[in-house]
Amino acid sequence: MAFSIPASASADQAIATASARAGRRARRARRLTAAGVGFVLFLALVAAAAPWLAPHDPTRQSLRARLVAPTWEAADGRAHVLGTDHLGRDVLSRMIVGSRVSLLVGFAAVLVGGLIGSALGLVAGFRGGWFDTAIMTVADAQLAFPFILLAIGIIAVLGPSFSTLIVVIGLSGWVSYARILRSQVLGLRSREFVDAIHALGGSVLRIIGKHVLPNVLSSLVVIATLELARAIVLEATLSFLGLGIQPPTPSWGGMVQEGREYLDSAWWIATFPGLLLMATSVVVSRTGDWLRDLLDPTLRGE
Amino acid sequence: MRTFLVFLASRAGRAVVALWLVSTVVFVVMRLSGDPTPLLLPPDAPRSEIFRLRTELGLDRPLPVQYAVFMGNLLRGDFGQSIRFKGPAIGVVVERLPATLELGLTSFGLAVLIAVPIGLLSAVYRNSPLDHAAMGVALIGQSAPTFFIGILFILVVSVKLGLLPTSGRGDWRNLLLPAVTLGLFGMASVARLTRSAVLEVLRADYIRTARAKGLAETLVIAKHTFKNAAIPIVTITGLQFGSLLAGAVVTETVFAWPGIGRLAIQAIYNRDYPVVQCVVLLSAALFVVVNLAIDAIYGLLDPRIRVR
Amino acid sequence: MTVTRRELLKGAALAGAAAALPAGLPGPATAQTTQKRELVVAQGGDIAHLDPHMSTSSNDIRISYNIFDNLTSRRPDGKLAPGLASEWKLQGQQAWAFKLRSGVKWHNGDPFTAADAKFSLERTYDPAAKTRVNTVFTTIERIEAPDPTTLIVHTKKPDPLLPARLGFYGGQIVPKKYLEAVGQEKFNQAPVGTGPVRFVSWTKDDKVVLDANADYWGGKPDFDRLIVRALPEMAPRVAALLKGEVDIATQLPPDQGERVKANASTTVAGALYGGLYVLAVNSKVKPLDNPLVKQALSLAIDRDVIIKELWRGRGVAPSGPIARGDNHFDPSLPPLAYNPKEARELLKKAGYKNEEIVIETTAGYMAGDKPMAEAVQAMWKDAGINGKVEIVEYSVRAQKNRDKSFKGLWWSDPTSTLRDPDGMMWRLLGPGGPQDYWRHAEWDELGNAARFSVDEKFRGEAYKKMTKIFLEHFPWIPVIQPYEDYGLQKYVEWNPDPLQQLEIRRFNFKFRRA
């Protein structure tokens, strides 16, 4: 066992460097999360101030100046920094104003899905029994249903509109929230103190507020960011299938969809909103990862 | 073993109920979405013609009666007659199934063969340029709309570089682009999950012990890590496989791939109820069966799960 | 009258051909040739039926017109030429006699006779056959086939357009013996016709494979095999053409024309559409029941800009409800005017109170439907009209069409099936027609009289008067008569058809060979 001493010494050293590294990681995660949240806040501000920021009216057409290239590509494109689309509308202005729809649909859908999912998850966890089984079976059914087809069907029934989109996209995401809350509640219920609180007359709401939510908040936030990214991409996909927001209101997904026929000739129509959409989605889901690193120390360092 | 069988039976029961729910929802949504008859007749068809066709298709009966007929037929394995193609709906779907399976299995294979090694390497050499590049690509793969990626592939790889055919079904060259497009999202998820699963295992105590014991690094990874990281990896790949059909909808439209995803979209637009019902149920059944299999494997591997 | 029309058509066809083929194309240096024996065509959707009487969609027609023949044949130049009938004449007022070709064989070797023709036409309206073309031959009273090469069709009233009706959908002749032997379902899976190509296979949502009929009475076509692929997305369809994977691509949007022409090996061919793109009007809802409002809506549309910019010049401005190239088209009428100032005055006079006027448009069902709707809405806005665009799915449009429940205006692309006003405005806008939202006693009387008159001079006068009434009431607001453009490899010699058929018979299709 002569080797045990240096081995353990190096282990100590390793632990020391590891904790230093963990500290650096935590700082890095905090910085990155802040940057990610900052980006989203910036977009939200842009969306809020869109009418004042947009250099042109996003719905103003000019058929004589359609498919004008971005400033640096065309001599006469100075008035339109990112060019114009197939109806001569300013691409930059449409992207700025379009952020409203994309973000609003995204956030509202996350809210709808989060509220429904959380509520069902809590009820399933606390009530248990057939109620639990019923909700989890519905969740199974939802996951098994090819979602795009369900969305097309629902939109065909209700007609494409802002609120329909929010409901459809929101409904598609409730299962993750429900599952995480349910398992948290089940975990708590297996501990005696909950029954004790019950026996002492403590209300269910109190249990939720004091013991359930603090434990799942980080998971919920992480899921919400992933869902937000998914919702923004989904809006674009539904637009591709012709089920997006109604014209002339611009949305990023709608712009990509309209511009896809011009990718070869007027690439700027779809490319800029497409890049912005992808960037937003990447940043938001990355922020979710960083947030998880920050909130859940055991996973730190990934 | 007995508890395992009970666990499996309850899971199977839930799966059957879920499938019943799926079939009911698809029935209701399709019926609410509109009437197929105007699409089948020329615009100047007289009213009597429309009524005749509605009667012929059984659409004049009250909804509950239609539902009962639908369920009764379903239990006998009969999905009804396609309204547009005038043949059994199941035949219309099965005819296109090989194309979708070919596409789906290829993209699934790509996801497993490419994404798992990449995730593994990323974990082992974490924070290396390789790791950053791979995870960057994976992030984009998860964030980009499929149709956008697909059209970009066609323009760059097929038209600009002239490497592969633009669309349609044929030999492996036709298959590559749509399979990568369809598999991209799955690949990205699998690669990222593999990486984090392996990382987690690498940090675990027994690995540290193994390292401390002086075992070669490759041996450590080979022996311990992969075995322990396998469960989450199997889960995510299983889930990806189960949802491939749903993902095929957009890919098949972009690449003119003659599979059931494209069939489903057209069937919805044509209000071809029986075909939609058939595709949705097959797809849901595939998903349910794959998940049941995963559950069963879990239950066998890890008895603790059965209690949940 | 007929002579001038034909002259005009020739002119239009030449103009189309000139626009399609850049000047001096077949110069020896640029002439491109091929050794191909296989013709590959890409269209925007798969076929649904092979049985020609089960469909009226253009995707199906492109194939069924080539597997089958009609008694008469509508050529790409607009003329009605002999098909399976070599000649025909009116007998008295209410009977048409057709002399049929002898020696024609079905693809399975059976001889074609007048009995097949009689069976086919009767099948279209036989309730037991449940065809989808059962309204095409409603003027027929009974059919006689006294000998194998004679067919006599008796009509209920004089029907000057019967030969024209026989040239369009519903008129494809199917084999009596084979169909009765195998039944409808089998026939739909393995059709047998007399046409220039015989059916080989159909891979759903992928392609239809057809082989050249070496024994075709009109000569074997200039290929051994025809493959029609379904490529629904425009970008991949054009990409396949640019890469040389397909020889002809249908439905080429005007914005893609330059791209296709700039490519060294491809070019564009177009035919002026045999019909119009119109905003149909639900004249029953307020304020569209007021003719002044509809006149204003028409005056507020700048058709020149739509055609020049949005369509890149690939279209002409309509002058009324009759398409250029049709019987009784009046070339002296000016194109529909653009005058937003007058539109404002008319609106004021009509008492328009900024009511919302809805355009329900499909997205991609008709070329340029959504962008045109958005452009029209913006033009209306400039003239003080509160327009709104709503996108509806194609099936919803079909449903609204049936229920007559459109909220205001919607896109329609009326096809001039007979190249005559009777087959277009009267078929659609007439009493009981699918777009019957507006009635006018004098207009109705004229339309009815013109349908059943064999006096072309009388018919011409009637359509002149009807056009005048139309331009006051605007049951349609015609917007453009576009070119139907196709992308071609330069080694393909082929003329597109105004009625969206794919005419690949020997007289119209050739591979340019070295």
> So what's the pLDDT on residue C55?
83
Which region among A37-51, C66-80, C166-180, C267-281 has the lowest average model confidence (pLDDT)? A37-51
Span C247-258, pLDDT tens digits:
999 989 998 898
B252-274 confidence digits (pLDDT tens)? 888 888 888 888 888 888 888 88
Q: What's the whole-number mean pLDDT along residues B198-205?
A: 73
Asked whether the predicted pLDDT for residue A214 surpasses 80, the reply is no
- C250-270: string of b/e by CB count within 10 Å (b at 16+)? bbbbbbbbebbeebeebbbbb
Chain C interface includes A246 (CB < 8 A): yes
- Between residues B105 and A288, which one has the greater pLDDT? B105
Is the CB of B271 less than 8 angstroms away from the CB of C395?
Answer: yes
B36 neighbourhood in chain C, CB within 8 Å: 395
**Beta-carbon separation of C239 and B166 below 8 A:** yes
Band (pLDDT 50/70/90 cuts) for residue B294 is confident
Cβ proximity of C512 and C493 under 8 Å: yes
Residue A297 is given by DSSP the state G
Residue A298, min C-alpha distance to chain B (Å)? 9
Q: Inspect the interface and report whether the beta carbons of A152 and B265 lie closer than 8 Å.
A: yes
Check CB contact under 8 Å for B155 and A264: yes
User: In the structure, what pLDDT confidence band is assigned to residue B307 with cuts at 50, 70 and 90?
Assistant: very low
**Residue from the list B38, B95, B256 with its beta carbon closest to the beta carbon of C236:** B256
Residues of A in contact with C253 (CB under 8 A): 261
Which chain A residues contact residue C364 at CB under 8 A? 242
- A74-105 pLDDT, tens per residue? 665 567 888 888 888 888 989 999 898 888 88
Chains that touch A (3 or more CB pairs under 8 A): B, C
Q: Which residues of A touch B203 (CB under 8 A)?
A: 301
Q: What are phi and psi of A72, to 5 degrees?
A: -75, -10
Number of other CB atoms surrounding residue A190 within 10 Å? 10
Chains with at least 3 CB pairs less than 8 angstroms from chain C: A, B
Residue C510: per-residue pLDDT: 93
User: In this complex, is the C-beta atom of A189 within 8 Å of any C-beta atom belonging to chain C?
Assistant: no
Q: What is the pLDDT of residue C4?
A: 36
Angle between the N-to-C axes of helices B244-254 and B146-153, in degrees from 0 to 180, rounded to the nearest 10: 40
Given a cut of 50, whether residue C486 has pLDDT beyond it is: yes
So what's the pLDDT on residue A78? Answer: 61
- The residue among B289 and C324 whose pLDDT is bigger is C324
What 3 state SS string does A44-83 have? Answer: HHHHHCHHHHCCCCCCCCCHHHCCCCCCCCCCCCCCCCCC
Which chain C residues are closer than 8 Å to A86 by Cβ? 255, 310, 371
Q: State the CB neighbour count (10 A cutoff) for residue A145.
A: 25
- For residue B258, give the nearest of C206, C236, C398 by CB distance: C206
SS3 state at C268: strand
Asked if pLDDT for residue A56 goes beyond 90, the answer is no
Q: Please report residues of B whose CB lies closer than 8 A to that of A281.
A: 142-144
* A69, A266 contact by CB (below 8 A): yes
Token pair listed for B82:
């396609």
What contacts B292, CB < 8 A, 6 or more positions away?
B8, B11, B12, B15
CB B277 within 8 A of CB A175: no
Give the closest-approach CA distance of C277 to chain A in angstroms. 19
Give the pLDDT of residue C345: 95
Residue B297, CA distances (Å) to A179, B239, B287, C471 in order: 21, 14, 15, 75
Q: Residue A160 — very low, low, confident or very high, per pLDDT cuts 50/70/90?
A: confident
How many Å apart are CA C21 and CA A152, to the nearest integer? Answer: 42
pLDDT the model gives residue A2: 36
Residues sharing a CB contact under 8 Å with residue A294, sequence separation 6 or more, in sequence order: A26, A29, A30, A33
My answer on whether omega of the bond before B36 falls inside 30° of 0, hence cis, is: no
Contact yes or no for C480/C2 (Cβ under 8 A)? no
DSSP notation for C476-496: EEEEEEEEEEEEEETTEEE--
Instruction: Tell me which residue in A147, A229, A237 faces B146 most closely, judged by beta carbons.
Output: A237
Among the residue ranges A71-80, A117-126, B289-298, the one predicted with the least confidence is A71-80
User: Rounded distance, CA C48 to CA C258, Å?
Assistant: 32
Question: Which of the four pLDDT bands, split at 50, 70 and 90, describes residue B84?
Answer: confident
| Lowest mean per-residue pLDDT among A195-204, A226-235, C227-236, C501-510 | A195-204
Which residue in chain C has the smallest CA separation from B88? C185
Per residue in C140-176, pLDDT (tens digit) is 999 999 999 999 999 999 998 999 999 998 999 999 9
Cβ-based contacts of C259 with chain B (< 8 Å): none
Structure token pair of residue C468: 């005048």
CB contact (8 A) between residue B269 and residue C394: yes
Task: Give C433→chain B minimum CA distance, Å.
Answer: 6
> Bridge-partner residues for C89, per DSSP?
C97
Token couple for C486: 């196709």
- Closest-CA distance, B112 to chain A, in angstroms, reads 22
| Structural tokens at position B249 | 């909808």
C-beta atoms of A229 and B283 within 8 A: no
Q: What is the pLDDT of residues A241-275, one digit of tens each?
A: 777 777 788 888 888 888 878 877 788 888 888 88
Nearest to A256 among B18, B143, B145 (CB): B145
CA gap C398, C410 in Å, rounded: 11
Which residues from chain C sit within 8 angstroms of residue A246, using beta carbons?
389-391
The share of chain B scoring above pLDDT 90, in percent, equals: 2
Selected for mutation to probe chain A from C391, C394, C396 (highest A CB count within 10 Å) is C391
Chain segment C335-368, per-residue pLDDT in tens: 999 999 999 999 999 999 999 999 999 888 888 8
Query: Which residue of A140, A183, A301 is in closest CB contact with B15?
Result: A140
* Distance in angstroms (rounded) separating the CA atoms of residues C249 and C251: 7
Confidence of residue C16 (pLDDT cuts 50, 70, 90): very low
Contact C132 B270 (CB under 8 A): no
C6 falls in which pLDDT band (50, 70, 90)?
very low
**Count of beta carbons in the 10 Å neighbourhood of residue B91:** 13
Is A63's CB within 8 Å of C310's CB? yes
Task: Note whether C109 and C122 are within 8 A (CB).
Answer: no
Alpha carbon distance C487, C492 (integer Å):
10
Q: Would the CB atoms of B32 and A152 count as touching at under 8 Å?
A: no
For the stretch B222-236, pLDDT in tens is 666 666 677 777 777
List, in order, residues 6 or more apart from A264 with CB less than 8 Å away.
B155, B159, C235, C238, C239, C259
- Contact between B27 and B67 under an 8 Å Cβ cutoff? The reply is yes
B35, B39, B255, best to mutate vs chain C, most C CBs in 10 Å? B39
Q: Which of A58-62, A218-222, A291-295 has the highest mean pLDDT?
A: A58-62
User: How large is the average pLDDT for residues A44-71?
Assistant: 83
